[in-house]
């Protein structure tokens, strides 16, 4: 059995968005802080990694949001190492709202172990594996689900230019993984406005779009001063859900730095329940939807929408 570490956080007001919910990126910050504490509890704090001349770098994040957190809630984050491979490791997370015990999010992160001087992958030491698995590692590692390939961008792909700012950089010297998610989210807000649906219009219409599942693959780090091209387009539009694809390229050499596959759900802001995507919204976004998916959806009753909501988390 692996070592399991738990930590609680009180939701701060500044961690919430305009819906009154904890912003998607802040879940990653809770997870990262808990992972650092878990590593230190196993004997591998930042000083020990510095002495080893190695560090961990996130390669992929996969998080499913099950229920929103709000200001004043307490959240319990539980984390453990799921496996070690030669140069990689997977860490799992479970987030629960303390008052109810309800699971609000589930996630895992895949990490690669790097030599801090060469930035090349390094073999995970046997003693490190033993520290996180005192009773021995699992006989079988969890299956890796391939990162989903996006369909080709449509003619109406939206691209946002931005410069990496000082506030985006973490102590490792590059854009933090949670900041990358914030880039994606900002691009999503900007593309909605570009197609005639700014946040104010959606909220006035009584609906919102919330993330159900975020999958992010980090290819290369973004550094201070980099100019980035954040692009986005849609596929798999169903009754109440759609997939939004994102990429981040460095403008100077067009290198792919990160990509994301995000399942979004349309919800009634008053009830929090899923709703059918408004027909005028879908029509306005036509140029931004991958060609094979740009079609009119049939009507659905509440049972269909609820089934789709359940399926979206599987």
| pLDDT tens per residue, range 140-191 | 777 888 999 999 999 999 999 999 999 999 988 899 999 999 999 999 999 9
Could you tell me which residues come within 8 angstroms of residue 95 by beta carbon, excluding any fewer than 6 positions away?
27, 30, 31, 75, 76, 77, 78, 103, 104, 105, 106, 107
Q: Which two tokens stand for residue 9?
A: 């956080």
Looking at the chain, which residues constitute the CATH 3.10.129.10 domain(s)? 1-145, 147-314
170 vs 99: CA distance, rounded Å: 32
pLDDT at 272 over 80: yes
195-254 residue pLDDT tens: 999 999 999 999 999 999 999 999 999 999 999 999 999 999 999 999 999 999 999 999
- From CA 305, how far away is CA 149, in angstroms rounded? 26
Q: 147-314 belongs to which CATH class?
A: alpha beta
What is the pLDDT confidence band of residue 301, given thresholds at 50, 70 and 90?
A: very low
Rounded to a whole number, what is the distance in angstroms from the first to the last CA of the chain? 26
CA–CA gap between residue 170 and residue 176 (Å, rounded): 5
- Which fold, 1-145? Thiol Ester Dehydrase; Chain A (3.10.129)
pLDDT tens for 57-116 read: 999 999 999 999 999 999 999 999 999 999 999 999 999 999 999 999 999 999 999 999
């Amino acid at each position: 059995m692996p070592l399991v570490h738990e930590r609680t956080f009180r939701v701060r007001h500044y961690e919430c968005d305009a819906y009154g919910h904890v912003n998607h990126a802040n879940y990653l910050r809770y997870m990262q802080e808990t992972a650092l504490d878990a590593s230190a509890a196993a004997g591998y704090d930042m000083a020990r990694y510095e002495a080893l001349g190695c560090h961990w770098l996130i390669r992929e994040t996969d998080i499913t949001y099950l229920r929103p957190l709000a200001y004043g809630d307490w959240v319990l984050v539980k984390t453990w190492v799921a496996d070690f491979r030669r140069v990689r490791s997977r860490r799992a997370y479970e987030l629960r709202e303390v008052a109810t015990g309800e699971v609000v999010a589930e996630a895992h992160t895949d990490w690669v172990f790097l030599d801090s001087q060469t930035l090349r992958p390094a073999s995970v030491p046997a003693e490190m594996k033993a520290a996180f698995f005192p009773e021995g590692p699992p006989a079988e590692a969890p299956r890796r689900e391939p990162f989903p390939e996006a369909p080709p961008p449509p003619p109406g792909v939206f691209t946002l230019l931005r410069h990496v700012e000082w506030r985006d950089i973490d102590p490792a010297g590059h854009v933090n993984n949670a900041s990358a998610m914030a880039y994606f989210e900002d691009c999503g807000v900007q593309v909605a406005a570009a197609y005639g649906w700014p946040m104010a219009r959606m909220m006035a219409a009584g609906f919102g779009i919330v993330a159900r599942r975020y999958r992010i693959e980090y290819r290369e780090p973004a550094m201070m001063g980099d100019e980035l091209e954040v692009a986005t387009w849609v596929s798999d539009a169903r009754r109440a859900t759609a997939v939004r694809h994102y990429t981040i390229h460095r403008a100077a050499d067009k290198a792919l730095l990160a990509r994301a596959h995000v399942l979004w759900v349309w919800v009634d802001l008053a009830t929090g329940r899923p709703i059918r995507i408004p027909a005028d919204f879908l029509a306005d976004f036509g140029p931004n939807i991958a060609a094979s998916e740009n079609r009119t959806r049939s009507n659905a009753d509440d049972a269909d929408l609820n089934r789709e909501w359940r399926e979206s988390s599987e």
